[in-house]
Amino acid sequence: ALEARWRELPFHPEPFAPAGGGSGKTVLAELFTGSECPPCVAADLGFDGLLEAFGPKHLAVLEYHLPIPAPDPLMNPATKARQDDYGVSSTPTPFFDGERLPPGGGPRSRAEDKYKEYRVEIERRAQAAPAVAIAARAVRAAGAVKLSASFDKSVPGADRLAVLVEKEVRYRGSNGIVFHKMVVRALQTLDPSARTAEAAFDLAGLERAATRHLEDYEKER
């Protein structure tokens, strides 16, 4: 019963039902957040609402944990690399299809406001035609996750990344959130011009790298 209360959102997301089934585009929603960040609560719960409202056909969510204002055990080299790519200096900061929205969050009471703000962005973008069609398959075996993917065309000037996420992590940080969704654990850069791609993630190696990353950060502090 207590766990059910922790999971309960302070609002009720309505399922997304695009006219005619939609354009086939999947919107990429990225959030820079942190379990030690009090104003990240509204943004985190807003993204949780998006996951309930939109299926994976219409929405892909990536959440990067950063040590703002204190070390976060869910941080890792991949989250730092993506922070540097985007030039993010504060949390929460959302991006939709690579476009930065104004940063800002708030307490739990503001979660529905953030959810509605984010939903408008996704519904608007979901109407556009997809820039590329992707077919992908991932398999977990022998301590690794292996990905194979194919693309109907290359997109000049675009970055192509394979990202490993953990669907849910249970950890209570100082901001009180217990269940963290779609936590980014690793990323690999792929050739943007190739029509096929493969990637492999060594899970034990990634865990060791994340531990070193956290320890090194704490030493620097």
Q: What token pair was written down for 219?
A: 């030493």
- Look at residue 126 in the predicted model and tell me its pLDDT: 92
How remote is the C-alpha of 88 from its chain's centroid? 14
Q: What is the mean pLDDT of residues 45-74?
A: 96
Q: Please, which pLDDT band fits residue 67 given cuts at 50, 70 and 90?
A: very high
- Look at residue 155 in the predicted model and tell me its pLDDT: 84
How far apart CA 4 and CA 20 sit, in angstroms, is 35
- Look at residue 158 in the predicted model and tell me its pLDDT: 87
CB atoms < 10 A from the CB of 60, how many? 15
Give the phi and the psi of residue 26 in degrees, each rounded to 5: -105, 120
Enter the pTM of the model: 0.95
Q: Which amino acid is at 221?
A: R
Mean pLDDT of the chain: 95
- Look at residue 154 in the predicted model and tell me its pLDDT: 87
User: 75, 67 in Cβ contact below 8 A?
Assistant: yes
Q: What is the mean pLDDT of residues 61-72?
A: 96
- Look at residue 33 in the predicted model and tell me its pLDDT: 98
DSSP-derived secondary structure for 34-83: -TT-TTHHHHHHHHHHHHHHS-TTTEEEEEEE--SSS--TT--HHHHHHH
Q: Please, which pLDDT band fits residue 1 given cuts at 50, 70 and 90?
A: very high
Over residues 128-174, the pLDDT tens digits come to: 999 999 999 999 999 999 999 999 998 888 889 999 999 999 999 99
Over residues 168-221, the pLDDT tens digits come to: 999 999 999 999 999 999 999 999 999 999 999 999 999 999 999 999 999 998
> Is residue 157 helix, strand or coil?
coil
Q: Which amino acid is at 66?
A: L
How far apart CA 207 and CA 109 sit, in angstroms, is 35
State what percent of residues in the chain have pLDDT above 70. Answer: 100
Q: Please, which pLDDT band fits residue 37 given cuts at 50, 70 and 90?
A: very high
Name the residue among 101, 84, 90 with its Cα closest to residue 39.
90
Over residues 68-112, the pLDDT tens digits come to: 999 999 999 999 999 999 999 999 999 999 999 988 899 999 999
Q: What is the mean pLDDT of residues 114-125?
A: 96
Distant-in-sequence, close-in-space partners of 119: CB < 8 Å, separation ≥ 6: 49, 50, 53
Q: What token pair was written down for 61?
A: 């969510």
- Does position 21 have pLDDT exceeding 80, yes or no? no
> Could you identify the residue written with the tokens 């309505």?
14
- Look at residue 20 in the predicted model and tell me its pLDDT: 79
Name the residue among 81, 2, 4, 179 with its Cα closest to residue 32.
81
How far apart CA 66 and CA 75 sit, in angstroms, is 6
Give the phi and the psi of residue 100 in degrees, each rounded to 5: -75, 135
